[in-house]
Chain A
């Protein structure tokens, strides 16, 4: 059986990739995918813990996260489409109207 640590390390690597992509990329869709990547990294950790502790709690969490992520994807893509229509661009640097 694969040791739990391996899963956790993979999860950390995926999460770190998600952070790096989120901070350094400009395309909104890329950012969106980075968020999904981080969520799934966490899901992976949850499942790994669930497996190693022999409890189902982690998997229940994962189901919740997947559901919320699906809802978030629907809303987020809606926002992205509107932004793209209004700005004719997917560059996140140009979405800065909240600046003082």
Chain B
């Protein structure tokens, strides 16, 4: 059999083929054929990923003890710059590739049910497969340039899929917003790459990290080259992973179909920023200032987005802000140096947030397209499978033992608590955000599944979703429940399998916990569970009996309007920019300077032509005179050295 590890390109190529086949030929095909292509390519890709992981962990790594890197072909060669199509496999890639292909495959299955009655079915799967291709390129890339290809590619697919219902103005606007806001972050990312190339003369991960390892670390508060490079990379990450201040596109991205929200805007693409930071951990530990910024931005986002999530009425908007908030946790983990905790949360979040989004999709499907939770209620007995799955996801995200979220969030908060630069404050804010998380998620549960129905029962026929949707839900629910158990032995002082597994990538950046620290960890775990319970109780008190729509005044109004951030951006950035573009760039620079130059040159040519056309008299003899004059001039020029002393010599 073909060794997959030696031919890693197969893994991303399969979805690309699926995308191309469906995109070019799928328009006329029945849904079944499109399904076969889309599911076949992703399923095969998942199988190949499993095989590659088996080969890497089973044979390659025990023998070599370093990442598998293989150049496939040269892509850009210019002077001493080389960007190759190089793919790599290490423990971090193993985690990511399994999440992307595994969760991606489940979401593909789900989509066959969810999108069954939608127009543009082949187009949807073509985009979705294309997304898988770019995401796999992103995580398999062995240098920053190729990573950036995937990075931009997933951005493109995100744009296409957010604007999937492009006839709806709000959807195409949301797509544009996502694309444009990401440009800001990508600008920083590119500057970061340039700076890294200037410093290291290469953009290959292995070389950069090997060279950066022995370099002296910047001090806290110092802005050395590595600090600035890390901050620029993080700027890209804030765009892609929806952190303050560039998070505004993610809630709007919910205009896309729900499986897209689950796959791209919860489980995989938005975690690309976390992946980049975790991948560059060697650089980041040389830049404590950058780490500090990452931690603060992550912590602030976790809290900020959670507060907005408290009052949203759209079921998908709640989950969107929840995603922003959870991504904040991941950055908090990276910022305080607990990279493996960040990646751990990335993984568990991929499970439970994909689950939550897909369950929400199932609810929306059941309600015939209704997304407002105030028009739901009492659905528990009608869609039992969906409800149970959603409850599993909620328990997992709220952080109750022994669900996945408990272990990962606990590891993050523990890391924050131990951070020496104001870690206690970060911990407190993170813990508050955990209470809020628990609150808004159980609020969602109660509003959606309990209480009296608040919809017209004669018009809406609530029905459970088909098997193709519920089976992926159940698998994800199981993963959300057990996904965290990799870290289970750490509770009784054993080893955390997950961070041990990532040890070769994260290296010595994380110290192992000692005995007294272990007690602290247990106490903090207890506190975290108490926090989650507090949120649960608060939600129960407010929404279990007689849920009322909140009053629209005071803090509630500010939260409901998302702190007016969109309005502030509109007034402070977009408005002036549009004014500048219209009144200066368009009317002065474009119409005046650029058009003026072009038209001026044309007018000049025309008037010169007007003057010189008079020499074209049509009279043969005048032409003859010109010929003679010309001959005399040429004669004069050629024999100038002879003529010159003869004519002017006497005068001198």
Chain A residues at the B interface, C-beta cutoff of 8 Å:
19, 22-24, 26, 31, 92-93, 95-100
- Are A92 and B613 closer than 8 Å at their CB atoms? no
Contacts of B620 in A (CB 8 A): 31, 92, 95-96
The answer to whether B621 and A92 touch across the interface, beta carbons within 8 angstroms, is yes
Chain A nearest CB from B183 CB (Å) reads 54
- Residues 616-644 of chain B: 1 if any A CB is under 8 Å from the residue's CB, otherwise 0? 11111100110010000000000000000
Cβ contacts under 8 Å, B624 to chain A: 22-23
The binding surface of chain B is classed by DSSP as helix
Once bound together, how far apart are the Cα atoms of A100 and B619, in whole Å? 11
B298 to chain A, nearest CB (A): 75
Contacts of A98 in B (CB 8 A): 616, 618
Q: How long is the Cα–Cα vector from A95 to B622 in the complex, in angstroms?
A: 12
List chain B residues, Cβ under 8 A from A92.
619-621
Provide the bound-state CA to CA distance between A98 and B620, in Å. Answer: 10
21 contacts between A and B (CB under 8 A): A19-B628, A23-B621, A23-B624, A23-B628, A24-B621, A92-B620, A92-B621, A93-B619, A95-B620, A96-B617, A96-B618, A96-B619, A96-B620, A97-B618, A98-B616, A99-B616, A99-B617, A99-B618, A99-B619, A100-B613, A100-B618
Neighbouring B residues of A23 by C-beta, 8 Å? 621, 624-625, 628
Q: Separation in Å of the B199 CB from the closest CB of chain A?
A: 65
Residues on B lying within 8 angstroms of A by beta carbon are 613, 616-621, 624-625, 628
The interface residues of chain A lying within 8 Å CB-to-CB of B619 are 92-93, 96, 99
* Residues of chain B lying within 8 A (CB to CB) of residue A95: 620
Task: Tell me which residues across on chain A come within 8 A of B616, comparing CB atoms.
Answer: 98-100
CA distance A59 to B437 in the complex (A): 106
Scoring B616, B618, B625 by chain A CB atoms within 10 A of each residue's CB, the highest score goes to B618
Q: How far is the CB of A82 from chain B (nearest CB, A)?
A: 15
Nearest chain B CB to A18 CB, angstrom units: 11
A84→B628 CA distance, assembly (Å): 27
In the complex, chain B residues whose CB is within 8 Å of the CB of A26: 621
Q: How far is the CA of A100 from the CA of B624 in the complex (A)?
A: 18
Q: Which residue of A lies closest to B618 (CB)?
A: A99
A99 to B622, CA, bound (A): 12
CA distance A75 to B624 in the complex (A): 19
Q: Select from chain B the residue with minimum beta-carbon distance to A99.
A: B618
Within the complex, the shortest CB–CB distance from B630 to chain A, in Å, comes to 13
Scoring A23, A24, A97 by chain B CB atoms within 10 A of each residue's CB, the highest score goes to: A23
Closest-CB distance, B632 to chain A (whole angstroms): 10
How far is it, in angstroms, between the C-alpha of A26 and the C-alpha of B621 when the chains are bound? 8
Q: Give Cα A63 to B385, complex, Å.
A: 107
Separation of A98 and B616 alpha carbons in the complex (Å): 8
Interface centre among B613, B617, B621, B628 (most CB of A within 10 A): B621
Docked Cα-Cα span, A85 to B617, in Å, equals 23
- The residue in chain A whose Cβ has the minimal distance to the Cβ of B619 is A96
CA distance A99 to B628 in the complex (A): 20
Query: In the complex, how many angstroms separate the beta carbon of A83 from the nearest chain B beta carbon?
Result: 11
Interfacial chain A residues near B613, Cβ < 8 Å: 100
User: In this complex, which of B613, B616, B619, B628 has the most chain A Cβ atoms within 10 angstroms of its Cβ?
Assistant: B619
CA distance A95 to B624 in the complex (A): 14
Identify the 4 closest CB pairs spanning chains A and B, nearest first: A99-B618, A96-B618, A92-B620, A100-B613
Closest to A28 in B: B620
Residues of A within 8 A of B617 (CB): 96, 99
Chain B nearest CB from A16 CB (Å) reads 11
| Least Cβ–Cβ distance between B496 and chain A, in angstroms | 90
Q: How far is the CA of A12 from the CA of B621 in the complex (A)?
A: 21
Report the Cα distance A98→B617, complex, angstroms. Answer: 8
A22 partner residues in chain B, CB cutoff 8 A: 621, 624
With both chains docked as a complex, state the minimum distance between the C-beta of A94 and any C-beta of chain B, in angstroms.
Answer: 10
Among residues of A, the one whose C-beta sits closest to the C-beta of B616 is A100
Nearest-neighbour CB distance to chain B for A29, whole angstroms, equals 13
Bound CA–CA A99/B615 (angstroms): 9
Closest to A31 in B: B620
Residues of chain A lying within 8 A (CB to CB) of residue B621? 22-24, 26, 92-93
